[in-house]
Amino acid sequence: MPAEVDAGLALLSDQLILATVLLYVFAMIGYALDLGFGRSKVKARAVAEPALVTVGGGTAAAPPASEESSAPAVKAPPAWAMWAGPVAVGLSWLGWAANLGSILTRGLAVGRWPWGNMYEFVVAMCFAAVSAFLFMNLRYRIRFLGAFVMVAATLGLGFSVRYLQVQAGPVVPALNSYWVAIHVSAAIIASGLFIMAGVSGVLYLIRKDTSVRLPSLADLDRVAHRAIVIAFPIWTFAVIAGALWADKAWGRYWGWDPKEVWAFITWIAYAAYLHARATAGFKGKAAMIVQLIAFACLLFNLVGVNIFLGGLHSYAEVPG
């Protein structure tokens, strides 16, 4: 592994990450405008699939409790508002490309996998979350989540640029292994999907019956479940790959290091969510709460363990 760092590429990577943040912010505004002024999802659906809308849920009936929410739904949306959504999606793809570029250039600059410290790890995780959103959007039309995913990604990137950024450079010997490609990539992909699910979960809980502008409970529930069903096996794989690496690096495959403990807890919590959702009478809100507990465990493992508990993971040093 070369010890030299290509300064030009490293700088390009730093600039690309700023571009990413800007593009995500603009995309977020676009999504917000789309939610606020575009065609109301509930109305659109009510016309398209009358059979599926349950009366009494307050959604289809949309009582004129708050004028703001029901008034624009009645009027045809302004022409520019029709464009807000597609433009936002375009901007997100641009931001996604910049994000990818930033990760690639950083990797090329240092000649290794670009997730060797907290900064690089969080950037990659935000990228994974946005990828999860954009690719799921290709298939399932979940544009309604865009604003919220972008908020999460922007916060994550902003936080890591502000507090975690370290100069590009080689990693300590412990991380110089092909297992980085396997274990960490899997952890990143799973985390990205879990973030999507977490965002849906938060929305699910704060959504009021009268907020016709927000995605419906059923949609949120479906997105969260789909993301977790994909993410859970990947997460399991990441943990097992971690155990294989630990067997090579630390002399045991499992030793209840704090990160291992919390990976295990997170795993159980998501398993509990899947069980809860499959168990009659425990669906909906209760399952969603279990999901968010699992998500909190995940975040604690990604951030909290590194800061408060320490352990053997040597990537986890946070610059002071």
Partner 1 sequence: MEEVEQTAGERMAGGSSPDSTSSRVSASVNTTLTEKKPEAGPAKLGPVGWARWFWRTLTSMKTALILLFLFALASIPGSIWPQRGVSDAMVVRYFDDSPQLAEWLDRFWLFDVFKAPWFAAIYLLLFLSLIGCVLPRTKAHLRELRKKPPAPPRNLVRLPQHASFESDLTVETAAARLRARRFRVTTGPDWVAGEKGYLRETGNLVFHVALLGLLVAVGMGTLYGYRGNVLVVEGEGFANTVAAYDRYMPGQQVSAESLEPFSFALDDFQATYIASGERRGQPLDFEAKLKVTDAPGAPERDYALKVNDPLEVNGTQTYLIDHGYAPTFKITDGKGQVAFDGPVPCLVAQPANFTSECVIKVPDAQPEQLGLLVAFRPTTVPLNGDWVSVFPGAANPTAQVYGAFAGDLGLKNGRPQSVYELDPASLKKMKPLVMKAEPLAVGKKLDLPGGTGSIEFTGVKEWIALQIAYDPGRMPAFVASTLAVLGLVLSLTVRRRRVWVRVKDAPAEASGGSGHEHDRKHVEVGGLTRTEGSDFSEEFAEIVSVLNPGVKDAR
Binding residues for ligand HEM (CB under 6 A): 115-116, 121, 171, 174-175, 180, 183-184, 187, 238-239, 242-243, 245-246, 249-250, 254, 259-260, 263, 301-302, 312-315
Helix or strand run (H / E) with residue 244: helix 217-249
Task: Determine the interface stretch with partner 1 among 65-73, 146-154, 204-212, 238-246 (rule: CB under 8 A).
Answer: 238-246
Is 170 a binding residue for partner 1 by CB under 8 A? The answer is yes
Is 70 a binding residue for partner 1 by CB under 8 A? The answer is no
As measured in angstroms, the least distance from the Cβ of 149 to partner 1 is 21
Q: Encoding tokens for residue 146?
A: 């865009």
Is 275 a binding residue for partner 1 by CB under 8 A? The answer is yes
Is 261 a binding residue for partner 1 by CB under 8 A? The answer is yes
Burial per residue of 140-173, b for 16 or more beta-carbon CB atoms within 10 angstroms, e otherwise: eebbbbbbbbbbbbbebbeebbeebbeebebbee
Q: Are 149 and 32 in contact (CB under 8 A)?
A: no
Is 29 a binding residue for partner 1 by CB under 8 A? The answer is no
- Measured distance CA(70)–CA(104) in Å, rounded: 46
Is 257 a binding residue for partner 1 by CB under 8 A? The answer is yes
User: DSSP letters along 61-115, please?
Assistant: T--TTSHHHHHHHHSPPPHHHHHHHHHHHHHHHHHHHHHHHHHHHHHHHHTS-S-
> Would you call 152 helix, strand, or coil by DSSP?
helix
Is 286 a binding residue for partner 1 by CB under 8 A? The answer is no
- Measured distance CA(311)–CA(304) in Å, rounded: 12
Answer for which of 247, 285, 286, 307 binds partner 1 (CB under 8 A) is 247
Task: Determine the interface stretch with partner 1 among 99-107, 157-165, 191-199, 257-265 (rule: CB under 8 A).
Answer: 257-265
Nearest CB to partner 1, comparing residues 11 and 71: 11
Answer for which of 258, 273, 298, 315 binds partner 1 (CB under 8 A) is 258
Is 243 a binding residue for partner 1 by CB under 8 A? The answer is yes
Helix or strand run (H / E) with residue 139: helix 118-140
As measured in angstroms, the least distance from the Cβ of 235 to ligand HEM is 7
As measured in angstroms, the least distance from the Cβ of 197 to partner 1 is 13
Return the one option of ligand HEM, partner 1, none that residue 115 interacts with (CB less than 5 to 8 A, by type): ligand HEM
C-alpha pair distances (Å), 106 with each of 20, 64, 119, 167 = 14, 53, 11, 10
Residue 279's φ and ψ, nearest 5 degrees, are -100, 125
Q: Which distant-in-sequence residues (6+ apart) come within 8 Å of 32 by Cβ? A: 147
As measured in angstroms, the least distance from the Cβ of 196 to ligand HEM is 16
C-alpha pair distances (Å), 78 with each of 42, 81, 229 = 17, 5, 38
Number of Cβ atoms within 10 Å of the Cβ of 33: 18
Which residues of this chain interact with partner 1, rule CB under 8 A? 1, 3, 167, 169-170, 172-174, 176-177, 179, 222, 225, 229, 232-233, 236-237, 240, 243-245, 247-258, 261-262, 264-265, 268-269, 271-272, 274-275, 277-281, 283, 305, 309
